[in-house]
Structure 1
Amino acid sequence: MSAGTILHAAEPLRTIASPTLWAVTVAALLLLLLIDLLITRRPREESMRASVAWSVFYLLLPVLFGLYLWAGHGGGAAVEFYTGFVVEKSLSVDNLFVFMLLLAAFAVPSALARQVLLYGIVGALVLRVIFIWLGAAALQSGTWAFLLFGAILIVTAGKIIKDVLRGDEQEVDISSMRSVRFVRRFVPVTEDYRGSRLVVREHGRLALTPLALAAVAILATDIVFAVDSVPAVYGVTEDPFLVFATNAFALLGLRALYFVLQGVLTKLRHLNHGLSVILAFIGVKLILHWGHGVWTWVPEIPTLASLGVIVAVLITVTATSLLANRRDRLRPSPPARVERVEPVEPVEEPAGER
């Protein structure tokens, strides 16, 4: 087969999912989101015990789903799902870190944090569905999409590592965010929070609350993450159903996981190093996959090997982060600087004033 045929082939993407499996999966997803919505309806502090329980539940779901795929569709589909899930979950943790910075920048009350996080998760799911559909359409039009996806991931990896080496501060400047400036230009925003309300009537006209502004900012960051996330999982599997399932399972439970990892996220100082390696690795995998279709002598990276590399990278950066934190704790603090105080010469009083 010639390169021209490969570049312009338009074959339907293969999928393991029947219409029934699609319907059941989407219905289960909507049910879980509805439960999350009911839980976050009333503003209140998130308890650590409940967060841990929900996090364990949402981690067990993909494990069970993968076993179902193994039993019903073979080990290949299950390995692709587990690999894609690990990739998406690691990217989602980085997503959570950005959410944490945004919540702090907007000074969102802790009782309202759950609501803002849910908006971010729902927005991320909607955007992922759109990008998954666009990615499937691109792949169906020709394998040139593998080159595009690979280039996107390699460029993203280079940007991440460049920011890390440059030592950019992890902070959010609200005034410089285009989405925030755009909203403020056309809609007034109240100075303070009004409970869980997004829109209020003030001075006879509608106005947004800072809670709505925070939700807009999080949705804007979701777009950036979707651009990186969907090509990454397409580097693991070409099945649109598995791509959707990995994204859905990775995003479900992020609200609860946020409160579990809130104190840990800042300590994973080498997470971005690992994510840059993973994205670059998958980018190379995509380019090799395209090259193998054009020239059969070009090697391909098996999915199981990809899973091993990704897990090894995540374990490594976690271990190096913990060692770096421990080294900082054991490092003696510099001695306090003692300034020398010059003696004060006694002042002679005039004889007449004694």
Structure 2
Amino acid sequence: MTLAAADSGGATSSLASPGLWLLSIGVVLGLVLLDLALTRRPHAVGMREAVGWSVFYIALPLVFGAWIWAQWGSGPGVDFLTGYLVEKSLSVDNLFVFMLLLSAFAVPAELQQRVLLYGIVGALVLRGVLIAVGAAALDNLSFAFLLFGAILLATAVKIFRDQRKGTGHEVDVSSMRSVRLLRRFMPVTDEYRGARMTVREAGKRAATPLLLVVVAVFATDVVFAVDSVPAVYGITSDPYLVFATNAFALLGLRALYFVLQGALGRLVHLGYGLAAILAFIGVKLVLHWAHGIWAGVPEIPTLLSLGFIVVVLAIVTMTSLRATRQDPEAVGEHVGSPPAR
């Protein structure tokens, strides 16, 4: 088995054997089933439960990264850890939107973890599809790295502009096409009916608000998947490592949400950090594409990328905490006031 690499034509190879792929997918499915079992009985998640599972889901990728390092060397090990850090950073942005959607739809506390789990499963499926599409693009399109770089640079500009305008995490449920489309085909009940997504009323099948919020979460999953998959392909062209970083970053989101729920609103400068990280990786991808054509064009090493990402995240975290400490009202302005359902 060889380290994944991209030649000038964009072809990629994977360090994982078919057996390792099957084993890894089986482990991911097992963890998803475990989460389904934990959420089978709807209940409000306490801090002790959330912290315990968060520690587990943070320790798991660190152990996996150490195994990759021991098995294939420092190159793939650094690639995995850097990609995981990028995906985890982007997943925190996911949590902002999840938080607003749960608030906008007034999801009861005992149903919130069920909605989050549905969102995470949807994100895993979508990213799996996009990872396969990305690998095929790198194998068959010589300009795929340039295309991915352009997507990330455009996304970075949008995030920066939204952050400047203060609209980075606003959610208008009534304007979401997915929600409007569902309302057009099915009536919607006024109240939640436990964990049921549909009920029969007056002889007709009606959706509950739970189905609406799940559809809205799935719609946001699509947007985040389009950004996150090219971002990690900017770190490594190995589809297996891309899959692993996405899976590990997403699996712990349900528990992490309840740990960070109170602190999320304080990260008022996170958008600037994500814009800088995505722009940096976009430039890295463009340089990689150019290096395949003109050997004199320099490339950005992954270790430098890791250092840049760590520094940026540390800076925006410190500046965010300082800004919200000096101006407590900035927390509310950042999170915004989502519209009532």
TM-score range, shorter chain: over 0.9
| Partner residue in 2 for 1:340 | none
Structure 1 residues 172 and 236, CA gap change in structure 2 (3 angstroms)? same
| Partner residue in 1 for 2:268 | 269
| Number of matched pairs | 324
Aligned-pair distance for 1:186? 0.8
| Partner residue in 2 for 1:165 | 164
**What are the superposed Cα offsets for residues 288-320 of structure 1, whole Å, 9 maximum, x if unpaired?**
000111101100000010000001100000000
Aligned-pair distance for 1:23? 1.2
Deviation larger for 202-211 or 270-279: 202-211
Gaps of 5+ in 2: 1-6, 331-341
| Partner residue in 2 for 1:116 | 115
Aligned-pair distance for 1:172? 1.8
Aligned-pair distance for 1:10? 6.5
| Partner residue in 2 for 1:323 | 322
Aligned-pair distance for 1:168? 2.3
Give the 3-state SS of the residue equivalent to 1:31 in structure 2. helix
Aligned-pair distance for 1:171? 2.9
**What are the superposed Cα offsets for residues 184-238 of structure 1, whole Å, 9 maximum, x if unpaired?**
0011111110000011111112111100110000000000000000000000000
**What are the superposed Cα offsets for residues 219-271 of structure 1, whole Å, 9 maximum, x if unpaired?**
00000000000000000000000000000000011000000000010000000
| Partner residue in 1 for 2:151 | 152
1:125 aligns with 2:124: yes
Deviation larger for 168-177 or 152-161: 168-177
Alignment of 1:26-175 (within 5 A): 26-168=25-167, 170-175=169-174
Return the letter of the residue paired with 2:293.
V
| Partner residue in 1 for 2:339 | none
**In 2: Cα distance, 1:314 partner to 1:242 partner:** 22
**What are the superposed Cα offsets for residues 80-106 of structure 1, whole Å, 9 maximum, x if unpaired?**
000000000000000011000000000
| Partner residue in 2 for 1:335 | none
Aligned-pair distance for 1:161? 0.6
Aligned-pair distance for 1:167? 2.5
Alignment of 1:199-210 (within 5 A): 199-210=198-209
Return the letter of the residue paired with 1:253.
G
Structure 1 residues 329 and 216, CA gap change in structure 2 (3 angstroms)? closer
| Partner residue in 2 for 1:348 | none
Alignment of 1:227-238 (within 5 A): 227-238=226-237
**In 1: Cα distance, 2:111 partner to 2:134 partner:** 35
Aligned-pair distance for 1:329? 5.2
| Partner residue in 2 for 1:257 | 256
C-alpha contact 2:96 2:169 (8 A) present in aligned 1: no
Give the 3-state SS of the residue equivalent to 1:206 in structure 2. strand
1:218 aligns with 2:217: yes
Give the 3-state SS of the residue equivalent to 2:205 in structure 1. strand
| Partner residue in 1 for 2:336 | none
Structure 1 residues 243 and 53, CA gap change in structure 2 (3 angstroms)? same
Alignment of 1:185-196 (within 5 A): 185-196=184-195
Give the 3-state SS of the residue equivalent to 1:200 in structure 2. strand
**In 2: Cα distance, 1:231 partner to 1:306 partner:** 15
Gaps of 5+ in 1: 1-5, 332-354
Based on CA coordinates, which of the two structures has the bigger radius of gyration?
A: 1
Aligned-pair distance for 1:48? 0.4
Structure 1 residues 162 and 198, CA gap change in structure 2 (3 angstroms)? same
